[in-house]
Amino acid sequence: MKKLATLISAAVLSASFSTTASAQDTMAMVVSTLNNPFFVTMKEGAEAKAKELGYNLIVLDSQNDPSKELSNVEDLTVRGVKAILINPTDSDAVSNAIRMANRANIPVLTLDRGASRGEVVSHIASDNVAGGEMAGKYIMEKVGEKARVIQLEGIAGTSAARERGQGFMQAVDTYKMDLLSSQPADFDRTKGLNVMENLLAANPDVQAVFAQNDEMALGALRAVQASGKDILIVGFDGTEDGLAAVKRGKLGATIAQQPGLIGALGVETADKVLKGESVEKSIPVPLKVVTK
């Protein structure tokens, strides 16, 4: 009976949604994790734009747990939100959450990571494939073709990890690099340190590392510093910590995204959707290689 009552409540709320936005309407943002500076900056960008446009913004943390993500979206479907911005924990697992929002007639926009299934009105993200290629090209320019490289991968199942890896592997093939190892460290600094320590022991002749985000790059940096080796490290995201490490000459480069802009564009695009305006299915956010 309780579940039935929840479904009825969701139906009543979704039926009462207007098709136009008004002051103090509420949007929601479901973030994969707020234990990562990149997503904190994305949240802050969204909050600033929501305030500017006159929306309340609810932000929920999924803590990298797809079941928590589903629970968050289920909660939002009965809270009267006008739109949901979601940064998926996993591109496949998020489909159930998106379909739940679809059934409640709440428009969904994905940020940074895409979704495999479910109806999404717009996806706002950097071109991760191009970014991976940019990282590989930079390594080739600094180390040379046939460079001996290691890749630290992000969370398996996320579009960001898959696409960044795809782009980097294209560069590996193009520049005939010797990929010594490619292992996941889950976009996490501590795991980046631990995985890199093991990889350094197994591959003492490595010349360069591509980490699929700055957090793993900073973890790898600690391992490399402890080893006393001179190894080029390239990160991805352009987080505050990553950019600072590049400026100090500790990281060779980072492929800089603009997480604040991704969040702001998410809210701006949702606002257009609620006003009945047409929006692009995919909105790219520019990338750049940042060096010292």
pLDDT at 102 over 50: yes
Lowest mean pLDDT among 19-33, 137-151, 216-230: 19-33
Give the Cα separation of 217 and 193 in Å (integer): 8
241-268 per-position pLDDT tens digit: 999 999 999 999 999 989 999 999 999 9
pLDDT at 187 over 70: yes
The pLDDT score that the predictor gives to residue 10 is: 39
The pLDDT score that the predictor gives to residue 15 is: 37
Q: Band the pLDDT of 286: cuts 50, 70, 90.
A: confident
Name the token pair of 7.
Answer: 């479904």
pLDDT at 16 over 60: no
85-96 per-position pLDDT tens digit: 999 999 999 999
Give the Cα separation of 18 and 267 in Å (integer): 18
41-83 per-position pLDDT tens digit: 999 999 999 999 999 999 999 999 999 999 999 999 999 899 9
The pLDDT mean for the chain works out to 92
197 backbone dihedrals φ, ψ, rounded to 5°: -60, -45
pLDDT at 17 over 80: no
3-state secondary structure of 128: helix
Q: DSSP H helical segments within 175-228, as ranges?
A: 189-202, 214-227
Say which amino acid occupies 73.
V
Say which amino acid occupies 160.
A
**Alpha-carbon separation of residue 157 from 10, 66, 93 (angstroms):** 30, 11, 9
Spell out the domains of the chain, with CATH numbers in brackets: 26-125+259-285 (3.40.50.2300), 128-256 (3.40.50.2300)
Considering only CA atoms, which of 287, 280, 261 is closest in space to residue 43? 261
161 by Cβ neighbours in 10 Å (0-12 / 13-18 / 19+) ranks as buried
Average pLDDT estimate for 143-170: 96
Average pLDDT estimate for 134-143: 98
Q: For the packed helices 128-143 and 159-174, what is the interaxial angle rounded to 10 degrees?
A: 40
27 backbone dihedrals φ, ψ, rounded to 5°: -105, 165
Q: Band the pLDDT of 24: cuts 50, 70, 90.
A: low
Average pLDDT estimate for 103-114: 96
Q: For the packed helices 37-53 and 259-274, what is the interaxial angle rounded to 10 degrees?
A: 40
Considering only CA atoms, which of 197, 207, 291, 190 is closest in space to residue 249? 291
pLDDT at 5 over 50: no
Average pLDDT estimate for 111-135: 96
Count CB atoms within 10 A of the CB of residue 80: 14
As a whole-number percent, the residues of the chain with pLDDT over 70 amount to 92
